[in-house]
Every structure is written in C-alpha cells, then in structure tokens.
Chains A and B, each alone.
Chain A
Amino acid sequence: MTLPLTGVRVLDLTQVYAGPTCTRILSDLGADVIKLEGLRRMDITRNFVMPENTGKGDYWNRSGYFLLRNGGKKSITLDFSDPEAVELVKRLVPYADVVAESFTPRVMAKFGLDYESLKAIKAEIIMISLSGYGQTGPWRDFTAYGMGLEPASGISSVTGYRDGPPLRTGISFTDPYSGVVGAGAVLAALHYRRRTGKGQYIDLSEHESAIPVTGFALMDYALNGRMEPRIGNRSHWYAPQGCYRCRGDDDWLAITIRDDTEWEAFCHATGHPEWENGRFGDVLGRFQHHDELDELISSWTRDQDQMEAMHLLQTVGVVAAAVLNPKQVLLDPHLRQRDFFDMIDQPDVGARPVSRQLGAKFSAFQPDSARPAPKLGEHNREVLQGILGLSDEDLARLQEQKVIGDTPEGAVPLDVMRMFVQWPTTTFLQMGSIAGLDEDYREQLGIGGNEK
C-alpha cells in the first residue's frame, strides 16, 4: 500500500516529546525515520514507565513512554563527542530527505550540522529545528523545558479556576502541539520541493507555535485593552456551562447548554420542567443566573451515574460528556470502535494498547502506526553497513571505541534515574496524585504480560 511518505527518509536527531511527536507522525505516514541517539545521550524517555513497574535488565528497551512517541522508528547510536560519529552523520545526509533536530540553538552549528553545512552536502535537504523559543531573538538561548512553555505561550493565563491562579494542563501541552505543527511544516516543505526541487530550513519555536491557541484573549486585548479573566470551565459564549459532580468519589459530567431548545430538552430530560420558564427561561436569564443554575444542575447530577447521565442528555440533544479518567479512556467503547488504540507487541514487554499519533482516518490508506519501538542501537548495522557500506571491521572498531553500541553509558547518574525507572506508586496513591492502582490491569485491558 502506498503511503504518503513512502520513499522519504528522515534523519531524526530529536528527543523527548515535541520532536519525536513530529517524526512519529512522519513515520506513521510511511517515512523511514532513523532516530539518532548517543550512548551517553540516549533519549531520556527510555527511562520512563516500565512494564509492571520493573526496571530490570535492559529496561531502556521497554519503556512505555518511549514506545508511544517512537514506535516504528529505527535507532542508531552515534556519540557526537567523537568526530568520527559526526562524520558518519554527514555521510548519511545524502541519503536523507529531511533532517530533524531539537537541540538548543547553535548546537548543530557547533558540530558543523547547521542548515548551511547540510545544504552544501545536499542542496535539496529539508531541515527542521524544533526549539523552545526559536533560533533567533533575546530568549533563544534560554534553557527550555516543556513545563515552562505552556505558561510562556499565554495558555496558562487563561487556564484556571475562577478567582484562582494560572494553571497548566496535566500534560506539557505545547510539546505535542508543536510536534504536530512540525509535521505539517515538513509536509508543506516536501510539497514545495516536489514542485520546485528546492529544500529549505524550518525554524519552529514551540513557544510561537502554541500562542495562537490564545487568539480570543489576544484579540480582546488588541481591540479593547482588556485582559481575560480565568473562567474555570465556563464559556465565553454559552451559559450554563460547567463540570458537575456525579455520584461516586470523583465522577464528573461536563455540560454546555447553548440555546432555548437545548435548555428545554435538558429540563424535561432531568425531570424538572419547572426550570424551563421563569428566570432561567431565556438566554439572558441563564447568563445572569449562572451561579444559581450551577447549583441546580449539580443537585441533579449528584444523584446520577456519569455515563448514564451523558447518554440520557445526548439522546435529547444536549451537549454533555463524562470526564473520563485514563483507565476509562482505554476502555471507552467509542474509542475502541474507532481503533484509536493500536495493540503493539513490544519485544520483552508483550502487547500493550498505544494511542495513535494522528487523530485522522483516511479512506485511501492506513497509517502504519502499530509498530514497536526500536531497541537502543538496534539498526546500527542496518544503517551504517546497509546504507553507508561500513565493513564488519569498521563496525567492530566503532563498537569497541563506544562510538556505537546498544548499552547506555552513565551520563545521568543511575541513582537519580532509578527513581524514574521504578515509580513509587504507593506513595503516589497516598499523596493523591493517582486515583487508583489496579492489580488486575492486564486482565481489565485484555492483555498478557511477560514477567521479566
């Protein structure tokens, strides 16, 4: 089956979250993605989320976090501290269509791998740099972590409870967001190259890519000089809207009621026709008495099962949805029917549900998303010998010199990493940062596991 990027090769120097999201999408669309790691610099996410929380043996080949972002890619290890490794990367460039990297600006230049240098090797190369704040400007040398970029992009200023402080999403929002933007930028560059034969350089600032999400707030300031307050789960345009407690410890229902028709349907479905008229009977009344409406709605939802209430309201045309926890998401019938999760059989781990990386279904092809993640250095021979023609002796020498390999060197003290490799889930449960710990999770998900 032809995929959109069949025949396109990507040299992937990105790591962690944003860059790998970008290159994973390209990989799922058919590109041959060669991920470059270093023995002293393997992708740090290889340390996160171990099967059955056991980090034994070659744990770096079994990480769940790494699989999610790197399934389907190839892995080679070339340690940049060795000039011969840098030379090998340069020798790979003629075989690549795209080079992707996510270092702090100037690192690639330091190794002679900036765009001008790569263009001299291959004129039509497309290069994308994903960085925190971009390649230019007073903030370009800032050390950028994903946890800081969502607030820096303005999104946190409009996220939070009413009268509360700015908050962040429970994921590093700008990382996957900018990764998807990066995939689109590369596709646009490939389209242009097909038409003109020209490559180009893409400077993607994760900060900038996410700022448009705050468009409403930006425009209110630009037009009215007014700052948006945080409105919790309310809407700028519809009332009532909110998140209402249901029966149970931590079960909630999100509801939006937009017009008179939906309000009428809501009143009848909940058995409260008396709410339909009077001071809630029109849009202005509902807007003005939002606080009181929230109480009324809660008085109904608190006796309801969140899923039953969602279905009841949706049947009569009201916008409502249960707030699902991650376990419920995995078991959700809609997402299952949509094949949202691929079952990926990762070596030494067994089959696990892994969410796709592109929220789109195509009628003419199926993205190749259900492939395992590569072991560290798994494709050293395939790439260095298969593409560059290095001999067995060359490979053996490079291995001995620890330029290439399959076992990470201790760049980050293993003690520190130990805490990440095996998570203190009982402590998390006591703290309250996890809501539950199921011993029978594999039965619940219908998967077996290897007890390694």
Chain B
Amino acid sequence: MPDSALAGIRVVDLSQGIAGPYCTRLLADLGAEVIKVEPPEGDYARRFGPFPDDIPHPDRGGLFLHLNANKKSVTLDVETQSGRVVLRKLLANSDVLVESEAPGVMASRELGYEQLKEAFPNLVYCSVTPFGQTGPYASFKGNSLTAMALSGLMYITGDPDKEPLCTGGEPAEYFGALHAWVAILAALEHRSQTSAGQHIDVSMLEALGCADEYNTTMYAYLGAIRKRFYSRHAIPTYPSEIFPCRDGSIVVIGGATGFPLMMAILIEQPEMENNPLFQNLWLRFMQWEKFEEVLRPYLAEHDWEDLLTRAQELRVPFAAVLDARTLLENPHLRERGFFEEVEHPELGRVPVAAHPFRMSETPLRVRRSPLLGEHTHAVLAEVGYEGEDQLVLRERGVT
C-alpha cells in the first residue's frame, strides 16, 4: 500500500461551506487525518444540492461528497462550554485547525488563536473568510460573488454592453481553498524548523486578486483600465474565442504557428492562406467581424471532436468546451483515471474527481465523504471518552 505525503498529520476542521472544506479535502487526499467537526445539525453545506431526484437529505448531497471525501465526521456543539472541553481534547494531539467563521466569532467562543496558542503552541490555525480578519471590509458579509466583484476579475468578464459576469462554480471559494491549503503546508514546513504553530489569515478576495493576469499592471504601467470584451485577451492576439459549431462549441485559437497556412488547411480553403486577414495578425484583430464571416459558416458545418482532432494534428491549439457529461465520458480523463468511483451508503456508486495532480511515490487517495456524526463515537473514544460519557454528551446535545 503506497505511503501518503501527509501521513501522521491530524487536522481538526471546523469549517463549513465550500472554501474551508475543499482545503481540508486536499489535505485529506494527501493522507492527513481530517476530523470534520460539525454542529449537531451538520455543516450547512449538507443542505445544498444537488440531491438525487432533488430530495434533500443531510447525507445525500452531491456537492458535499465532492468537498468532503476522505474525512471523518464528529458532531459537536462548540458554542457550548461543554463542547469546547471536548474540542480541546481533540486539539491536544492535532497539528492543524481550520475554521471559516466571520472574524471575531471564534474568539467569542474562547476558540480564537490567541486563546488557544498557549495551550497548543504547535497548532497551525488557519482562518478562511471572504475578506480576511482585518481591514475596512473585515466586518462585511461575503460570498463568492462579492469576492469576485471586489477583486476586479468580475469587471473584466463578460460582454461590454452587458453587466459584468461572475465565473460559474463559486470560483472564489475554490481559490480561497487552494491558498489556505498552500498556506497550511507552508506553515507546517515553517514549524519543522521552528517547532511553533501560527495563525494564518486567508482572504478569498485576495486569493482571487493574486490570480490577476495583467489588469492592475495595465493601469500601473499604462494608465489603461481594462474592460470586459467578450472574454477577449487584452494582448492583441485573435482569435482565441469560443465559437459555436454544429454539435456544440469549440475554442478557436490560432496560436503562434496556426496562421496563415494551418488555419487555411483546416477550414479546407487553402486559398485563404493569402488572404490579408489570415496573413496579418493586426488586421485580423481589428477586423474580427470580417474574419468571423469566413470562419463561422465552416464551424457550423462541423462537429467539435472532428475540428479538435484535425486542428491539433496541424498543431493549431484548438480546445474543447467540455461540460459535466463530456468530462465524465472523456477518453483522455478516463485513461488517466481522473474520476474514481466511490461506494456511498446513501448514494450508491458515484464518480468523484480524484486527481487534481499526481505524485509518483504518494498517490492521492479518494474515499467517500462521512455520514453526519459517523465517527463521533470512535474519535471521542480515542481521546478517552468512555461509553457512558458519550451517552451523557449526546443526551445533553453536546455531540
């Protein structure tokens, strides 16, 4: 059985929703033991669909499975003093704590970093919020949409004559999760040299801002305020757009060597090689509508797989526009084993995205997400709570 990169690392995960949980999912994929500590009614994300047949159930959420694979679930009411006593026992031999409450909430529960660091000096304590622990917007309520809005990335996405557009799929949450994951790993490296834990303050807004390609740079260097323009790049290469084709869409990118000859061959009009629109990058950029008059009819007559295959054979960097179905059915991903089926007591066999990257000595693993409170008994027993104690805690609503 292969080793795992984070074997021996233990994480107490108080986070809920998307960002904190996806961060700890990645830690769990790498072999850390992640104990998801949920309130007795469960992570609020257990309320989110999709559910089979749209029937809500705390153990049947598809997104929950995606975000919480590989973890253990313990129910605990940390808003009570009794719950916090139990939590401290869990923290005693844990390396990492992750939380996603609004700034100040953990402190109000005597669980802030400042309150825990003396008792747990080696603890890496990571807070993930939309806007961070400090600053004028620290008290703001946030989500993926508002983080995108303040990051500048929303202003530059969409059509110029329509409202700015947010990228689909809650991207701010996932970016925040990634930065929290990297930060925790960095803090563990730091701890290996200093023997000390620390507090990490992750802001989803800043995680998005870090992704900026050149938009703030354009202002700082040129005084130019980039605006959304059909998702077109400011760097004047054209095309690199998504176009409709006969059976869906395709990304048409000319690339460094695609014009003029390769594109002309691709659209089966070799005489186009000498057309100024094909010869001249700048002309094509400026007269993009004319160029599209040549291109669109051809695409409307052809299917995406055919276009993609032929283009790539000519080394023209077209790309597919995949969706959930074509991703799950994709032969390339299938050969690479990207999706793995897990057996879930409530959902049956479900494909889960399993390998965002691959490590040769310590492959990532995927196991199902936990049922609500599934591991409360076992985890509490490990830290010394006998059967009768556990019954008392349960009856009094602590677990």
Contacts and interface: CB of A to CB of B under 8 A. Distances in A.
Contacts of B26: 184
Nearest to A47: B235
A408 interface: no
A147 B239 CA distance: 10
Interface in A1-31: 2-6, 17, 25, 29
Interface residues of A, number: 177
B132 to A, nearest CB: 6
B231 A168 contact: yes
A134 to B, nearest CB: 6
A372 interface: no
Interface in B342-361: 347, 350-351, 353, 355-361
Contact of A329 (B151, B159, B164, B282): B151
Given A359-B204, A365-B190, A433-B226, A64 B146 contact: no
Contacts of A152: 251, 319-322
A181 to B, nearest CB: 6
Interface in A262-321: 314, 317-321
Contacts of B66: 212, 215-216, 218-219
Contacts of B140: 314, 321
A340 B132 CA distance: 11
Contacts of A171: 153, 156, 211-213, 215
Contacts of A96: none
B155 interface: yes
Nearest to B358: A203
A353 B151 CA distance: 15
A323 B150 CA distance: 6
Interface string A433-452: 11111111110010100000
Contacts of B194: 2, 364
Interface string B135-175: 11101111101111111111111111011111111110011
A158 B169 contact: yes
B261 interface: no
Most chain B Cβ neighbours within 10 Å, of A161, A173, A327: A327
Most buried by A among B8, B147, B327: B327
A254 interface: yes
Contact of A432 (B189, B229, B360): B229
B1 interface: no
Contacts of A365: 190, 198
B135 A358 contact: no
B264 interface: no
B209 interface: yes
B266 interface: no
Interface stretch (A33-41, A87-95, A189-197, A395-403): A189-197
Interface stretch (A74-82, A228-236, A374-382): A228-236
A208 B255 contact: no
A68 B336 contact: no
A214 B328 CA distance: 12
Interface stretch (A105-113, A237-245, A384-392): A237-245
A221 B324 contact: yes
B201 to A, nearest CB: 4
Contacts of B158: 161, 167, 170
B48 A139 contact: no
Interface stretch (B34-42, B78-86, B216-224, B381-389): B216-224
Contacts of B215: 170-171, 326, 329
Contacts of A424: 236
Contacts of B315: 143
Interface in A165-193: 165-173, 175-177, 180-185, 187-192
Contact of A254 (B139, B145, B185, B333): B145
Nearest to B286: A427
A169 B146 contact: no
B198 A222 contact: no
B135 A334 contact: yes
B14 interface: no
Given A322-B150, A323-B154, A334-B137, A220 B226 contact: no
Nearest to A184: B182
B217 A49 contact: yes
A60 interface: no
Given A187-B189, A256-B143, A363-B199, A223 B152 contact: no
Contacts of A323: 149, 154-155, 164
Interface in A124-176: 133-134, 136-145, 147-149, 151-161, 165-173, 175-176
B113 A170 contact: no
A445 B217 CA distance: 12
Contact of B327 (A143, A189, A214): A214
B167 A200 contact: no
B249 interface: yes
Contacts of A241: 145
A433 to B, nearest CB: 4
Contact of A420 (B67, B206, B236, B240): B236
Given A4-B186, A143-B255, 9 more contacts: A64-B214, A145-B317, A151-B319, A177-B211, A192-B5, A200-B360, A200-B361, A433-B226, A434-B226
17 contacts: A65-B214, A138-B332, A143-B315, A143-B317, A168-B242, A192-B362, A202-B357, A212-B174, A219-B63, A223-B52, A337-B135, A359-B175, A360-B183, A427-B286, A434-B227, A435-B226, A441-B219
